[in-house]
Homo-oligomer: A and B are copies of this chain.
Amino acid sequence: MLINCVVYQDGKRIRDIPVDEISQWLGRGDSFVWVALRDATDEELTAMQKQFHLPDLAVEDAMHVHQRPKIEEYADSLFCVLHLVEPKGDELNVGEMAIFAGRDYVLSVRNRSEQGFLGVRERCEREPELLRFGSSFVLYALMDAVVDRYFPLTDAFELEIESIEEKIFELGAARSNVRRLYELKRKVMTLRHAVAPLLEAISKLYGGRVPALCAQTQDYFRDVSDHLYRINGSIDNIRDTIGTAIQVNLAMVTIETGEIGKRLAGWAAIFAVATTIVGIWGMNFEFMPELKWRYGYPMALGVIAGVCGLMYWYFRRARWL
């Protein structure tokens, strides 16, 4: 579905054009065309390929779902795939944004995502002095917008882990803690899948030898890279924390089990002794003189209480009870 198709000249918006006028605007040197598609069909992509002479392999990639984030250089154009990650209920939805960028055009194709990018176009049009850099600035602006939307996710992950941490030493919460940690881990891995390959790919757009297209906008791509590093650092931190938290949770359960084992053993011992003693005086021997004593019964109760008290005191001191 075509969202819009606009010509820009000297950093300023000229006008919306129909798709089949595109080729007239290419190759003039001072203008570029910026087309945005959404959930594009194969036909739309083929039409675009004809207008912009897009490389075959890149178009084939854009037609398939589940691409890996990447930046590929073709002769004088770039093909980028970015992941659009957004919360959807309890899960994360992963869409894709494919961007074709050449000297005089930018084509963005957004798939399976509810996130809109009209704001990026508006922001670019408000800054004509930057938009004058041409298509590579648009490429930057789109990447920047995609990457900036990863930050709320890491913030949410960090909040979630803090909320779990508050309960990590709480008895009885172990089961739900582990479950939440596991689900968090899955989400973190999904985001990592979006970030890590991009981080590697983007390093080709600044620093040493960069594609001609990005020569003037290197600093901007370095800025995106820096944001990705920050996100990646958070992700690594969260992963590490999740691992330790599961381990600690398990340790707490084991410790608690051990303590319960001790208490169980202690009380079991006390009552086993009492039961044995009352059993002795419950035997039916004829000649058990103490059974005849006037104060035999209170004495028996006293003996039992005494023995149990002694044992209680002993276990208490040994910190079993």
Interface residues of A (CB under 8 A from B): 55, 57, 61, 66-68, 70, 72, 74, 168-169, 171-172, 174-175, 178-179, 181-182, 185-186, 189, 193, 197, 219-220, 222-223, 226, 229-230, 233, 237, 240-241, 243-258, 260-265, 267-269, 271-276, 278-288, 290-297, 300-301, 304, 319
Contact = CB atoms under 8 A, between A and B. Distances in A.
A292 B286 contact: yes
A251 to B, nearest CB: 5
Nearest to A296: B285
A273 B270 CA distance: 10
Contacts of A265: 260, 263-264, 267
B282 A68 contact: no
A310 to B, nearest CB: 15
User: Which of A55, A72, A229, A281 has the largest number of chain B CB atoms within 10 A?
Assistant: A281
Contacts of A169: 175, 179
A55 B295 CA distance: 96
Determine how many copies of this chain the complex contains: 5
A238 to B, nearest CB: 10
A272 B268 contact: yes
B250 A220 contact: no
B294 A287 contact: yes
Q: Please classify the interface of chain A as helix (H, G, I), strand (E, B), loop, or mixed, using the class held by over half of its residues.
A: helix
A273 B292 CA distance: 26
A287 B283 contact: no
Nearest to A280: B278
B282 A287 contact: no
A154 to B, nearest CB: 10
Nearest to A185: B244
User: Which of A197, A233, A276, A319 has the largest number of chain B CB atoms within 10 A?
Assistant: A276
B251 A258 contact: no
Given A57-B219, A276-B278, A68 B233 contact: yes
A35 to B, nearest CB: 23
Nearest to A270: B272
User: Which of A168, A241, A282 has the largest number of chain B CB atoms within 10 A?
Assistant: A282
A258 to B, nearest CB: 4
Nearest to A192: B237
